[in-house]
Structure 1
Amino acid sequence: MGTTLTMSTFDAPARPLNIPLPIDPPEGGWTWPPTSVTLIAGEDDAVLIDTLPTVEDSAELADWIEASGKRLTHVFITHAHVDHYLGTAALKARFPGVKVVSTAATARFIAEEQKTRRDTTAYAAIFADDIVGEIVIPEALPADGRIDLEGHDIIGVPTGQSDLSESSYAWVPELSAAVVGDIAYNDVHVPLFESSSEARRGWIATLREIQSRAPQVVVASHRKTDAVNDAGSLAKTIEYVELGDELLSADPRPSLAEFVARVVEADPSRANVTTLIYSGAVQGLR
């Protein structure tokens, strides 16, 4: 194990959406947030954390991996939101030997989606761009969560609640790095769509659990391309979810306009206000 690991991100831009809400869209229209996936590489081989949902971004991601000169051995899926796993089929077509893995809970969620096509149908309806249609069910990781990369450990850590009831992240001990999927958001608005107060408290507990590892590097899937990949995103996501919980649990609750204004005022640099407006609307704010 003479080499050290490296990390790099492929950053896909915000994508246009067609959201059927009876309110005016923000300036620039409704958008899906910018999305990053992370490649962890050794001397010859590499592991990818998550994929991208659109046909165009998936093709460009595959080109980027190929240009790295590394052999893609694994794709680790952090959780069962379709924007994180739909692109798997396109990568398997380009890299036939790749092994797709996740926690057992994530694999079960994806297997259920393959049967129902509920989320896939919903995403296809709102994305202006074509999304990948085929669903690939990951293999469940062993109990220790270990992925071997040229003798280096990458650990898939199950965490429970984030913006989904079952989530996970990739822990890279050698780099003191956590690739956290949707557990943290880095300078991008955080989805609080159908979350309950209990779920939001669980999400905060998950973020604090990752903080307890004292990571030096934290890579969120939804981040501004110039955002710093450090543990500050964990603390700022906690602040965001706490404020969201305070507002959504208030009696009386704020109007949608008041909710959006309060959250933007607290952190005005965050991108993709679509997520914030949609969160309030789904929560019943008007």
Structure 2
Amino acid sequence: MTSDTGLDIHVYVAPMRPVPNPDAEAAGVKPMWSPCSSTLVTSETEALLVDALITYDQADALAEWIKGFGKNLVGVLFTHGHSDHTFGLTRLREHFPGLRGLATRGVLERTQFEKANMGPYWQGVFGDQVPGDPVLPELFEGDSISLDGHQLSVLDVGQGDIEDSTILHVPQLDAVVAGDICYNQVHMMTAFTDDEKREAWIANLDRIAAMNPKTVVSGHKRVDAPDTPDTIEQSKQYLRDWGRVAAEQETAEGIFTEMMKLHGDRDNPYTLLLCAQLTVQNRG
């Protein structure tokens, strides 16, 4: 996206990649990690990155892409604390020494939790492509970030596919970088929500819609999918459908089958399978 405001927004998407899960393969679902985005907001001489991906090879490719813009990278803002958006900071600092990771309090606490508790899980998924001792971001307590004097709004909004999520609003471009509050043609991670949390999630999608953005960047998006605001309503409909289907179906297979009838055109049914399985398991 280009503009005459002095600001531009650019989106990098790491494509889906295989992950190990023999049980999913046996069930006829190809285990993949969803495509994941990082967004670069550029001004006349500076740039801010939003989210940092996870694996070494993803971060290496992202770094080369960033270097192509020829801007001074002032920091990386994390939209939420899931490691597939944060671990890449470790590798990016090798490309950009001293690079600052920035996280609101809730996001920082989640990154600290994942570093302390989730290392074996991520190594089981990505092996030696993830850091054993990931770099943590620093606490960001402001409500805006300046790029060459242009103010970008940092909004701590709460519930997305995880609690304590942050969005970046670039009003000069009518753009919102929404992290995992919004999804774009990819199955949504609903496993860690209940009815109340999904209602809060939908309310945050309404909050983004009320900004009347022309551009909405989702944290997980299909490669080359346009960053259009209709993804807001599409995400809301998915959450409504999930709540209804999960309540009606007793088995993970039933949830998976019915959701695929409604949203089978989205990337990565493996995410849907995991969500269905976890939801049934959590019923106790």
From 8, 15, 18, the counterpart of 2:17: 15
Q: Retained in 1: the 8 A contact 2:24–2:270?
A: no
* CA positional deviation for 1:3: 5.3
Q: Percent identity?
A: 29
Q: Retained in 1: the 8 A contact 2:25–2:31?
A: no
Greater percentage in helix? 2
2:271 and 2:199 mapped to 1: Cα distance? 20
Q: Could you say which residue in structure 2 is the equivalent of 1:146?
A: 144
* CA positional deviation for 1:126: 2.1
Q: Could you say which residue in structure 2 is the equivalent of 1:95?
A: 96
Q: Which amino acid letter does the alignment assign opposite residue 42 of structure 1?
A: S
Structure 1 residues 75 and 263, CA, compared in 2 at 3 Å: closer, same or farther? Answer: same
* CA positional deviation for 1:98: 2.4
Q: Which amino acid letter does the alignment assign opposite residue 184 of structure 2?
A: N
Q: Which amino acid letter does the alignment assign opposite residue 260 of structure 2?
A: V
1:174 and 1:200 mapped to 2: Cα distance? 30
* CA positional deviation for 1:25: 4.6
From 262, 270, 273, the counterpart of 2:258: 262
Structure 1 residues 31 and 25, CA, compared in 2 at 3 Å: closer, same or farther? Answer: farther
1:247 and 1:192 mapped to 2: Cα distance? 12
Moved more, 104-113 or 203-212: 104-113
TM-score (norm 2): 0.92
Q: Retained in 2: the 8 A contact 1:50–1:77?
A: yes
1:51 aligned onto 2:52: yes
* CA positional deviation for 1:198: 1.4
Q: Could you say which residue in structure 2 is the equivalent of 1:213?
A: 211
Structure 1 residues 280 and 226, CA, compared in 2 at 3 Å: closer, same or farther? Answer: same
Structure 1 residues 268 and 23, CA, compared in 2 at 3 Å: closer, same or farther? Answer: closer
Q: What RMSD, in angstroms, separates the aligned Cα atoms of the two structures?
A: 2.0
Paired residue total: 279
1:129 and 1:233 mapped to 2: Cα distance? 34
1:71 aligned onto 2:72: yes
2:253 and 2:109 mapped to 1: Cα distance? 38
Residues 200-231 of structure 1: CA deviation (Å, up to 9, x unaligned): 11111111111111111100021111211011
Q: Retained in 2: the 8 A contact 1:62–1:91?
A: yes
Structure 1, unmatched stretches of 5+, are: none
Moved more, 263-272 or 82-91: 263-272
Residues 108-135 of structure 1: CA deviation (Å, up to 9, x unaligned): 2223333x2x223212112367223332
1:168 aligned onto 2:170: no
Q: Retained in 1: the 8 A contact 2:38–2:49?
A: yes
Q: Which amino acid letter does the alignment assign opposite residue 275 of structure 1?
A: T
Q: Could you say which residue in structure 1 is the equivalent of 2:131?
A: 132
Q: Is the partner of 1:68 in helix, strand or coil? A: coil
Q: Could you say which residue in structure 2 is the equivalent of 1:249?
A: 247
Q: Could you say which residue in structure 2 is the equivalent of 1:198?
A: 196
Q: Could you say which residue in structure 1 is the equivalent of 2:82?
A: 81
1:67 and 1:167 mapped to 2: Cα distance? 29
1:22 and 1:97 mapped to 2: Cα distance? 41
Q: Could you say which residue in structure 2 is the equivalent of 1:113?
A: 114
Q: Could you say which residue in structure 1 is the equivalent of 2:179?
A: 181
1:201 and 1:103 mapped to 2: Cα distance? 22
1:275 aligned onto 2:271: yes
* CA positional deviation for 1:23: 6.7
Q: Which amino acid letter does the alignment assign opposite residue 232 of structure 1?
A: D
2:44 and 2:167 mapped to 1: Cα distance? 23
Q: Retained in 2: the 8 A contact 1:16–1:127?
A: no
Q: Retained in 2: the 8 A contact 1:102–1:140?
A: yes
2:278 and 2:114 mapped to 1: Cα distance? 22
Q: Is the partner of 2:9 in helix, strand or coil? A: strand
Structure 2, unmatched stretches of 5+, are: none
Residues 69-102 of structure 1: CA deviation (Å, up to 9, x unaligned): 1111111001000001000011112111422211
Moved more, 179-188 or 129-138: 129-138
